[in-house]
Amino acid sequence: MQNIGGELELVGDKSLSHRCIMFSAIAEGKSKMTNLLNSGDTKATIGIFKELGVEIIEKDLNTFEVEGVGLNGLNKPTTELNALSSGTTARLLIGLLSKQNFETQLNGTDQLKRRPMKRIIEPLNAMGAKIISENDKLPVKIFPSDYEFEAITTTKPSAQVKSALLLAALYHKNFPTTISEVIATRDHSGVKSFRLGNSITIQPVNILNPINYNVPGDPSSAAFLLAIGVLVSDKLILKNILLNERRIGFIKTLKKMNANISIKNLQIIQNEPVGDIVVSKSELVGVNIDSSEVADMVDEFPIFTLLASQATGKTKVTGADELRVKESDRISAMAEFVTQLGGAIKVYEDGFEIIGAQKLNEGTVNTYGDHRIAMTAVVANICINKGIIPNNIDCISDSYPSFFDNLRLIGANYEL
């Protein structure tokens, strides 16, 4: 095994990067963001706001300036808007576009067209929005509508739904709006809000201020390196990672699995906790995860499944049916991954059970064009068996285009 370890900074968090672009576009004045994620998914958001008439300047790969046009300054686009494969782009924008005084059509790749949009369309239309779709999926047509709502509840444990509702609520002039969710999800709202339990209330805003922000590292991308850390590294330090309470479920789970993992240099930077994660080779044990823990590690299940296969004892996940509607059906894609390599996994509608530690043989795994399945396969190649090969690695650039550069920097070389 190569000597894997050292210190590394990661590019900015995907959720924060999308929101930085969106909120800076409708703010008044010039925003500047550094360490902004420039990936397939965030390019979709940038491309759409350019179509909506916002000037977005790429100063260098991860530094962007945005000339905000104000809440009512977006222009009617001349073409259909394309969210590519980005669920966050599509879902959040449906909320924002439903409040514009022009008509738009939103579409995406075949992968995104398979994903449910009913979770946004239904609550907004129930309040009076005019969003039309043939099968509750993309493409959607969004027509102007003067609708307003004071309170709205979402039953899906989804930050994308909550943020879409929040973007629509930003347009309310005369009264506060309360958005309630059944399970609390990531809360990078970008506007001042008051939280009471699982409800957030925002006050009417006439003007959004521009943003000046260095985006902290993405904990969901860090998860792949943390996995390498617990599997094979003497010491790996990931610096300046976003440690928002709603994003550290995977770190907490690793801790429950007996991982050597700790946080150093914790600071609060512009309302978000940021710190360094230190991790090293660990004797992992199995763990139980239930519905109350799923949202806080919702993007980390592919790499978590691989770790569970290498942990001693039983791991059981329940209440994770949301995984079925991610970039791929991540329960069945990871079940296929494990069995394809000679491992065993029991699948449920809302989760799975796996007993480790398992020997994984060489083989090609189908990533289903899902960036996080592809990165999981690369980690398996580096740490478990050089013969494990993902059938597609191009999709990795949807969320983590510097993945292979970062792997080289920690001495983890992946060669096909």
Cα–Cα distance measured from residue 235 to residue 95, given in angstroms and rounded to the nearest whole number = 44
Q: Which is nearer to ligand S3P, 82 or 86 (CB)?
A: 86
Please give the helix or strand (H or E) that residue 409 lies within, else none.
Answer: helix 403-409
Binding segment (CB under 6 A) for ligand S3P, from list 144-152, 158-166, 223-231, 344-352: 158-166
The active-site residue, picked from 299, 321, 329, 394, is 299
Q: Exposed, middle or buried, 173 (CB in 10 Å: 0-12/13-18/19+)?
A: exposed
Cα–Cα distance measured from residue 380 to residue 360, given in angstroms and rounded to the nearest whole number = 9
The number of residues that bind ligand S3P (CB under 6 A) is 12
Sheet with 199-202: list strands edge to edge: 151-154, 177-181, 199-202, 193-196
Cα–Cα distance measured from residue 330 to residue 372, given in angstroms and rounded to the nearest whole number = 9
Binding segment (CB under 6 A) for ligand S3P, from list 154-162, 176-184, 192-200, 277-285: 154-162
Q: Where are the alpha helices (DSSP H) in 40-186?
A: 40-51, 87-97, 110-113, 118-126, 159-169
Residue recorded with tokens 């044990």:
285
> Is 185 near ligand S3P (CB under 6 A)?
yes
Q: Which is nearer to ligand S3P, 19 or 281 (CB)?
A: 19
Q: Which is nearer to ligand S3P, 216 or 356 (CB)?
A: 216
CA gyration radius, the chain? 21
Closest approach, Cβ 86 to ligand S3P, in A, equals 9
Q: Where are the alpha helices (DSSP H) in 179-300?
A: 219-232, 249-256, 291-294
Closest-by-Cβ residue to ligand S3P is: 15
Closest approach, Cβ 88 to ligand S3P, in A, equals 4
State which of residues 163, 177, 193, 406 lies at the interface with ligand S3P (CB under 6 A): 163
Q: Which is nearer to ligand S3P, 157 or 343 (CB)?
A: 157
User: Side chain identity at 5, as an amino acid letter?
Assistant: G
Residue recorded with tokens 């006050």:
203
State which of residues 42, 45, 88, 376 lies at the interface with ligand S3P (CB under 6 A): 88
User: Side chain identity at 248, as an amino acid letter?
Assistant: I
Which positions from 278 through 337 interact with ligand S3P, judged by CB under 6 A? 298-299, 322
Binding segment (CB under 6 A) for ligand S3P, from list 73-81, 153-161, 204-212, 243-251: 153-161
Cα–Cα distance measured from residue 62 to residue 75, given in angstroms and rounded to the nearest whole number = 26
State which of residues 45, 158, 315, 328 lies at the interface with ligand S3P (CB under 6 A): 158
> Is 62 near ligand S3P (CB under 6 A)?
no
User: Side chain identity at 197, as an amino acid letter?
Assistant: G
Q: Is 234 a catalytic residue?
A: no
Residue recorded with tokens 């996080």:
372
Closest approach, Cβ 126 to ligand S3P, in A, equals 19
Binding footprint of ligand S3P on the chain (CB under 6 A): 15, 18, 88, 158-160, 163, 185-186, 298-299, 322
Active site residues: 299
